Structure 1
Amino acid sequence: MNTETSPTVVIVPGLRDFVADHWQTHLAADLGDARTVAALERNKLSRRDRVAALDDVIRQIDGPIVLVAHSAGVMTTVHWAQHSARPVQGALLVTPADLELPLPDGYPKKADIEKGGWLPVPRRRLPFPSVVAASRDDALGGYRRISGMAEAWGSRLVDLGDVGHVNPASGHGRWPRAAELLDELIAHSIVDAHV
């Protein structure tokens, strides 16, 4: 990544927040100057509080920004984008969690998701370039539904194949594809900005 033109990368974790061997944690460490949205101390299922935490990080940054979100962090990003006037250069949205359908055991119940203010999932075009990286066998989001969300958001869809939820449980601690997709997104968004 060219540091002279590189935007600040903001990592938007899912509901499990910090996980030591997660690809987002490795990516942040590899980048060195990335910012990560901090875990909530309370109201962990509050969409409003998660969006506010993302907004707080973004307001502290001067210059271009690229968001890197995973799972429910994608939904935080999409909800944030519906109401923010702050432009960002782009977003990499990896294996969005489909919060409109019941999640597997061990994840929050749909009633708790609804109570937290996550529904409905916004389906308006995002005001910045985005890439949705979707898995064909993700238990937290069916490929067909996620591809429909990507289309509604105006995102480029990347089919990752059968890779699970792209988290440590699916064998994805360090995940080099994240850096590749991030570099592609940044390169395309710079070109688009100069066209």
Structure 2
Amino acid sequence: MSPSPDTVLVLPGWQSSGPEHWQSRWEALHGFHRVEQHDWMRPLRGDWTARLEETIVDAPGSVVLVAHSLGCILTAWWAAHSSNTHRVKGALLVAPGDVEREDIAGYLPGWSPIARQPLPFPAVLVGSRNDPYCSFERAEAMASAWGARFIDYGARGHINAESGLADWPEGLALLAGLRAPAAASTPSLS
């Protein structure tokens, strides 16, 4: 079964995703579209939310979100405030950043609290047991609050370029599951 013709929007975290990050590699290999933010170094939640809203409204048809780190927090916040959540077919949320943690909140003022309502679309959250920006327990709790299927990805750091994932085929399989017509059944990472 081939994926449906939807738009895949890539939502990097703070400082964006560099060329070796799996998000950037997916964009280059598969033609996915990055949601470009005005300021990657000093992110303002309101500005990032408005840019995501604008991009989703302008997209032809449905969208699938591929979020990493702060992009996961953005997804939840946007979903809590948008009247356009029906445009989102699903979301792959990878290594959320815990913006409520004191050492992180100092770098990202205005991003707390984290929205904790169930997402109105299918979601999969992939968490790492040794993520320096979010404890495993907090990632699990976010998945639960958001109604996302949680995947324990083992000790893979922040699941970024430093994690050695290259093109991350396992993540692509999860994304394909979200893009499939029956998004409720997404494949497992094994």
TM-score between the two structures when normalised by the length of structure 1: 0.86
Which residue number in structure 2 is paired with residue 106 of structure 1?
none
RMSD: 1.9
Inter-partner Cα distance in structure 2 for 1:123 and 1:84: 15
Inter-partner Cα distance in structure 2 for 1:36 and 1:152: 26
Letter in structure 2 aligned against 1:22: H
Deviations 1:118-164 (A, max 9, x none): 11101110111100011111111111111011001000001111111
Per mean C-alpha deviation after superposition, the further-off stretch among 72-81 and 43-52 is: 43-52
Deviations 1:60-105 (A, max 9, x none): 11211100000001111111111111121010000101111134xx
Q: Is the CA contact (8 Å cut-off) linking 2:105 and 2:111 kept in structure 1?
A: no
Secondary structure of the structure 2 residue equivalent to 1:121: coil
Inter-partner Cα distance in structure 1 for 2:138 and 2:44: 23
Q: For 2:120, which of 108, 120, 127 is the aligned residue?
A: 127
**Does residue 159 in structure 1 map to residue 152 in structure 2?**
yes
Q: What pairs with 1:147-186 in structure 2 (closer than 5 Å)?
A: 147-186=140-179
What is the total number of aligned residue pairs between the two structures?
182
Q: By how many angstroms is 1:172 displaced?
A: 3.1
Inter-partner Cα distance in structure 2 for 1:2 and 1:36: 22
Q: Is the CA contact (8 Å cut-off) linking 1:35 and 1:57 kept in structure 2?
A: no
Question: Unaligned regions of 5+ residues in structure 2, if any?
Answer: 185-190
Q: Is the CA contact (8 Å cut-off) linking 2:143 and 2:150 kept in structure 1?
A: yes
Letter in structure 2 aligned against 1:67: L
Q: By how many angstroms is 1:169 displaced?
A: 2.2
Secondary structure of the structure 1 residue equivalent to 2:182: helix
- Identity percentage of aligned residues: 39
Inter-partner Cα distance in structure 2 for 1:159 and 1:18: 22
Letter in structure 2 aligned against 1:50: W
Change (3 A) 1:159 1:59: same
Question: Unaligned regions of 5+ residues in structure 1, if any?
Answer: 104-108
Change (3 A) 1:25 1:125: same
